[in-house]
Amino acid sequence: MSTYEIISVGTKLKNLRRKYRLNQDDLAGNEITRNLISQIEHGKARLTKHAAEIMFKNLKEICSEKNIEIDENIEYLLEDEQSQANKILEKYIEELKVLSVYKDDSFNNKLAEIENFLIKWNLNDKKTYIFELAGDYFVSISDYYKSSLYYEKARALIDMYSKDSIGLFRKLSMVYFYMGNFNQNVKCCEFVLNWFTDISDEYRCIFLFNSALCYTELKDYERAIENFTKIEPMLKDTNKSKYCDILLQKAICFHCLGDYKKSLEINSKLLELLNDDVSEQRILVLINMSETYQKLNDAKKVEEYLNIIRTNVNKISSTSKHLSTIYFDMGKQYKWLKDSTNAEKYCLQSLEIAKKYTHQFLISDIILELIDIYFEDGNAEKITEMKNEFFILSAQENKMNPKILVKLVYCYAKLQDLHSIEDVYSYSHKFN
């Protein structure tokens, strides 16, 4: 796929004369002046349709006498630079669509070429479409940081108060969540809900749900429950799967508020709704219940539920967006049961998946948990492996997680490993 060139009207005129061996007087004839053609060729005058018709009439007469066929038409000559730029961008868009299925650098290279082209041509409709297309591509390869950059570029070019922006806000709310940017996500969702009072029930449910998830992550459980409750009547009789998702999240919120009875009550209702199906939702319910029994200090129940989960977790799709969290929750519960072997096993599986899908906020939590596991086992070598993971994560985010930093320094101090403390200290200076 080659790059494209925009040719000015003046250059096209020069090229025509050169190709058919004509001078300016030949094209001018008796109806327009040679000086007008000279001014058009030098960009000092605009080519009108009338002048173009005269030039082509003269060109055809001369070429007919010489038995030469003309390849060009009047539309070619009249097409201005902006029209050409529009057509080129349409071709670029089609190329990007083709390249979006590849995981190599071809999409990035073409996108860079297009962005360079767009520096000169400020065609907002095409630019917005291209940026949104780029955002979609980076979501498909789980690069949520780059995805958010391009979605935000697209958002900056459109009227955010127009309904045309709602789809873009929906995409932003998704990537903000995976980036762990919960406050920005809430702002995004609340803006849509407050400004667009007449949006469809489908969109209302999406933004209420996404904002509620963020309130949960921000530990504002009452607000989360409030939003989940608003969605319930919209989905109860129309979408069983989504309705179960709502109940699942409400159960988590009640658990976090310490209302374990209410949490277990909702989870028990969920198990009835889901029957005996071995589904992702059912496993998430079992995870919730085992966590609640952990809070109730019922180790026997926790172990019972973990055994059921272990037996069935491999039936979940490897592409599930919940799989990393499920493994992480299993790891934490095995750690509570003082089963460090299974705690490490499931935390490492969680870390592998979280890294694959660049769930940065989850990666930090997993690293913290693994450092704890290795410290309790006195495994300095494995702690150093987590230190290296932390360095990689810090480089990706261009910042250091202070909790991990403090945890590493504490562990190395207890292990009397001065060299590793110096290593962490030295690396931290890169982010000052």
CATH number of this structure's domain 9-79: 1.10.260
Residue-wise burial string across 375-397, b where 16 or more C-beta atoms lie within 10 A, e elsewhere? beeeeeebbbebbebbbebbeeb
CA-to-CA distance for 99 and 208, rounded, in angstroms? 34
Single-letter code of the amino acid located at 263? S
Q: Are 431 and 399 in contact (CB under 8 A)?
A: yes
Angle at 178 between CA 173 and CA 182, to 5 degrees: 60
**Which amino acid would we find at residue 278?**
V
Contact assessment for residue 39 and residue 31, using Cβ atoms and an 8 Å cutoff: no
**What is the 3-state composition of the chain as percent helix, strand, coil, each rounded to the nearest 5?**
75, 0, 25
- The predicted-structure confidence for 265-301, as pLDDT tens digits, reads as follows 999 999 988 876 668 889 999 999 999 999 999 999 9
Query: Residue type for 363, please?
Result: I
Tens-level pLDDT at each residue, the chain (432 residues): 456 888 888 888 898 888 888 888 888 888 888 898 888 888 888 888 898 888 888 888 888 888 888 888 888 888 888 888 999 999 999 999 999 988 788 999 999 999 998 988 888 899 999 999 999 999 998 889 999 999 999 999 998 898 889 999 999 999 999 888 999 999 999 999 999 988 999 999 999 999 999 999 999 999 999 999 999 998 888 888 899 999 999 999 999 999 999 999 999 999 988 876 668 889 999 999 999 999 999 999 999 999 999 999 988 888 888 899 999 999 999 999 999 999 999 999 999 999 887 677 789 999 999 999 999 999 999 999 999 999 998 888 888 889 999 999 999 999 999 999 999 999 888 876
Contact 285, 322 (CB under 8 A): no
CA distances from 270 to 112, 210, 238, 242, 274 (A): 49, 21, 16, 12, 6
- CA atoms of 290 and 311, how far apart (whole Å): 15
CB 290 within 8 A of CB 301: yes
Q: Which of 263, 342, 248 is nearest to 295 (CA)?
A: 263
Which are the contacts of 141, defined by CB distance < 8 A and separation ≥ 6?
103
Instruction: Give me the DSSP letters along 402-422.
Output: HHHHHHHHHHHHHTT-HHHHH
Residue 388's H or E segment, with its range, is helix 380-397
Q: What is the pLDDT of residues 298-333, one digit of tens each?
A: 999 999 999 999 999 988 888 888 899 999 999 999
Structure tokens at 191: 């803006």
Kindly report each contact of residues 416-423 with a partner whose C-beta sits within 8 Å and lies 24 or more positions away, as own/partner.
Answer: 417/380, 420/384, 420/387, 423/387
Give the start-to-end residue ranges of the domains of the chain: 9-79
What is the pLDDT, as a whole number, of residue 77?
A: 83
pTM (whole model) above 0.85: no
pLDDT at 1: 42
